[in-house]
């Protein structure tokens, strides 16, 4: 039962869209209210809720501190999703584009912003004969570069070359792990204006 609920939560909230998340959360709230009504009766609903909150029984605290889903607490996953969503939205992406970008991120692992300094290096696979791919906002580290284009989401088909860039000025990026491969990815719409090409392989 617990595993089924955990799978449902991952499917509907973590990997779902705005509709599935709102449906799941509203259903959860309805179940909680129904449970209180059955247990204490309609007349005691307000008093029961007030008592629960005054005694520190807060759903958000329970979730963020205790509940585990696939190795990460729900609180951490929510914070990571919120950060990624803010970064993607601030980059001017539509809600549909934001959802697509969110699906590339493994929210069971750290998601954070970091600042590259001048002299740091990043890599990306780009279409041959094209300076930048359609969305030139994702880069990887040396490990992702060494693992091949499949490790950073391009599959094993040809037509791509590895390009190494040197960062020329401090630039803040979103750092996360790729859901399908576990390799590091960096996202920033500004990074392409803060790097110079070093080599192509």
Does residue 150 sit within a domain? yes
Does residue 7 sit within a domain? yes
**Residue where the block lists tokens 């037509």:** 159
3 state DSSP class of 2? helix
Tokens of 200: 């192509």
Query: Domain range for residue 14?
Result: 1-57
3 state DSSP class of 29? helix
User: Hey, which residues does 198 pair with through a beta bridge?
Assistant: none
Between CA 59 and CA 72 the distance in angstroms is 17
- In the chain, the percentage of residues whose pLDDT exceeds 90 is 31
Confidence of residue 10 (pLDDT cuts 50, 70, 90): low
* pTM of the model as a whole: 0.62
Looking at the fold, whether 39 and 117 belong to one and the same domain comes out as: no
- Average per-residue pLDDT for the chain: 74
Last residue of some domain: 10, 28, 57?
57
Between CA 146 and CA 149 the distance in angstroms is 9
Does residue 64 sit within a domain? no
Considering only residues 10 and 67, tell me which one the structure prediction assigns the higher pLDDT.
10
Q: What is the pLDDT of residues 112-169, one digit of tens each?
A: 999 999 999 998 888 766 554 445 678 888 877 777 766 666 666 667 788 899 999 9
Last residue of some domain: 13, 41, 57?
57
Q: What is the pLDDT of residues 56-86, one digit of tens each?
A: 433 444 443 444 444 568 888 999 999 999 9
Q: What is the pLDDT of residues 36-51, one digit of tens each?
A: 445 555 454 444 444 4
How many domains in the chain?
2
User: Hey, which residues does 116 pair with through a beta bridge?
Assistant: 171
Last residue of some domain: 16, 32, 57?
57
């Amino acid at each position: 039962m617990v595993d089924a609920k955990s799978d449902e939560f991952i499917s509907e909230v973590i990997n779902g869209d705005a509709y599935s998340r709102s449906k799941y959360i509203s259903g959860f709230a309805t179940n909680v209210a129904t449970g209180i009504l059955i247990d204490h009766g309609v007349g005691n609903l307000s008093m029961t809720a007030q008592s629960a909150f005054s005694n520190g029984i807060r759903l958000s605290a329970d979730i963020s501190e205790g509940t585990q889903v696939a190795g990460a607490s729900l609180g951490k996953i929510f914070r990571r999703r919120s950060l990624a969503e803010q970064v993607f939205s601030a980059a001017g992406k539509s809600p549909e584009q934001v959802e697509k970008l969110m699906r590339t991120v493994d929210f069971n692992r750290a998601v954070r912003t970091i600042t590259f300094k001048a002299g740091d290096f990043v890599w990306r696979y780009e279409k041959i004969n094209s300076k930048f791919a359609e969305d030139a906002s994702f880069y990887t580290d040396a490990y992702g570069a060494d693992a091949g284009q499949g490790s950073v989401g391009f599959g094993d088909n040809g037509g791509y070359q590895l390009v190494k860039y040197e960062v020329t000025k401090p630039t803040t990026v979103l750092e996360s792990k790729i859901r399908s491969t576990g390799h590091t990815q960096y996202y920033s719409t500004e990074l392409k204006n803060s790097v110079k090409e070093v080599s192509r392989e």
